[in-house]
Amino acid sequence: MTSNSHEPTRAIPIAGLTFLCSLGTGVLWNALYFIAASEYGFTQRDNLVLALVNGILYTVVAVNAGRTLRFLENRMSPRSALGLVLLVQAVLAPLVLIQNVTLLWIAAVTMSALGALQWPIVQHYLASGRHGRNMRNAIGWWNASWMSATAIGLAAAGPLQHAGLTRWAIPALMPINLLALLFLARFPSHPPEHNTHANAHHVPRSYRSLLGGARVLHPMGYLVIGALSPILPYLFERLTIAPGLQAPIGATWHVARLCVVIVLWRTAFWHGRAASLVIAGLLLSVGFAACVAAPNEPTLVIGLIALGLGQGTIYYSAIYYGLAVGGAEVEAGGTHEALVGAGFFIGPALGLASLRPGTDPSVFIGLVLGALSVGFVVAVVRAARASSQSTA
């Protein structure tokens, strides 16, 4: 069942819910590994295994998001399904206060899996009823909402870590999710109808080729994040960076990503052009290599900035072309999030494959850059098809 209205869901409820939920995501997907290392004594291998399992579950749930929502719609509205997800996450969050590694695992993987259902529904509300410039603008402020929140969430972990309160970061998701329910109450019970004829008018043929390229690079961006996030605490330790500075420095790439997304939101030069994807892929690769092999703190920061610029450009392109071509359906958001999950489990898998006592970091760098190179070539070939087609 869908709404009879063609009026898009209002911006403030979506942006408010997105910001609050993304504060939790910033903690869960990033600070989780600091918490596991400092509070539970996780080794580098343990963190990579945790990231691998999170990524696999996220992918499985996201790729079935459309099917799951249709099943739930026989019993509740999409708004109610989203509310249920937020409530279950809120209940699970305090489990990590009990010093038990099994409960940490249960809370982490279940909350991650629920997030894979949550975001396709939010994206469905975001895009339905919006077309062309209106959709691009909505995706712009939506990206700015969640990316600023994840950066703030990770940076806030620094003071908590310095005060010895790291274990309270995930339980803080309970009041955050409950507050998000207040914004959810302003959502319509169902997203508005999406006029497919109006949508087709705003989607040139080149978008399909560019979507093909972006969807190859998209998991590559999260492959890099999935490989890097679990080992950041150990890179900081190697460079003897003060504990209070680790989380804020780790948030550098989030800030860079937010900045490039704001630029893409407010400009039109990149629409329908393959060059932006090519440059983004190069920045992503160079940034990752610089981070893992960094001999000092400035090199690490530069690498994180390059990585953030590249990943932000890829992400924006992938979700815009995906929702435009996919007609704002849940399946479009589900595919987008499934590719996020794919990157999140392939990255740690490569890390585990290269993690041997005494192994030089260049092995890890080589494996990840090898995967990036293959993805980059495939993406360029796909995106190049757009060069002979119309642009927007």
Cβ distance 246 to 156 under 8 Å?
no
pLDDT for residue 392 is more than 80 = no
CB atoms inside a 10 Å sphere around CB 367:
17
Q: pLDDT: is 351 or 360 the higher one?
A: 351
Q: What pLDDT was estimated at residue 79? A: 94
Report in angstroms the alpha-carbon separations of 70 from 30, 65, 234.
31, 9, 43
- pLDDT band at residue 163, thresholds of 50, 70 and 90? confident
- For every residue of 85-105, DSSP letters joined together read HHHHHHHHGGGGGS--HHHHH
Distance CA 224, CA 310 (A): 11
- Model confidence at 86, pLDDT cuts 50, 70, 90, reads very high
CA distance 202 to 139: 15
pTM across the whole model:
0.81
User: What pLDDT sits at residue 130?
Assistant: 81
Tell me the three state secondary structure of residue 357. coil
Between CA 221 and CA 334 the distance in angstroms is 17
pLDDT at 373 exceeding the cut of 70: yes
pLDDT band at 18 (very low <50, low <70, confident <90, very high): very high
Identify the pLDDT of residue 1. Answer: 42
Residue 204 pLDDT > 90: no
Confidence of residue 5 (pLDDT cuts 50, 70, 90): low
Of all residues in the chain, what percent carry a pLDDT higher than 90?
21
Residue 386: pLDDT above 70?
no
Task: Pick the range with the lowest mean pLDDT from 127-131, 193-197, 329-333, 340-344.
Answer: 193-197
Torsion of CA 333, 58, 313, 228, to 10 degrees: 180
pLDDT for 286 equals 92
Least confident range from 46-55, 126-135, 178-187: namely 126-135
Closest C-alpha among 198, 185, 200, 188 to residue 2: 188
Q: Which domains does the chain have, with CATH numbers?
A: 11-388 (1.20.1250.20)
Mean pLDDT value of segment 141-159: 81
Average model confidence (pLDDT) across the chain: 82
Other beta carbons within 10 Å of 10: 12
- Choice among 201-205, 219-223, 247-251 with the minimum mean pLDDT: 201-205
Cα dihedral: 209, 206, 377, 320 (round 10): -80
Q: Which of 191-205, 215-229, 248-262, 293-307 has the highest mean pLDDT?
A: 293-307
Alpha helices in the chain (DSSP H): 11-26, 32-40, 44-63, 65-72, 78-92, 101-127, 132-162, 173-184, 196-201, 206-228, 232-238, 243-250, 252-266, 275-292, 297-325, 330-354, 361-384
Cβ count near 381 (within 10 Å) = 13
Rounded to 5 degrees, φ, ψ at 15 are: -65, -40
For 110, the token pair is 């279940």
What band does 391 get if pLDDT is binned at 50, 70 and 90? very low
pLDDT of 332 reads 67
Please indicate whether residue 313 or residue 164 has the higher confidence score (pLDDT).
313
The letter for the amino acid at 156 is A
Both tokens of residue 282?
């190069």
Per residue in 293-337, pLDDT (tens digit) is 899 999 999 999 999 999 999 999 888 888 777 654 566 667 778
Contact 191, 4 (CB under 8 A): no
For the cut 50, the answer to whether the pLDDT of residue 3 exceeds it is: no
- CA dist 301 and 277 (Å) reads 23
**3 state SS of 115:** helix
| Residue 96: other Cβ atoms inside 10 A | 27
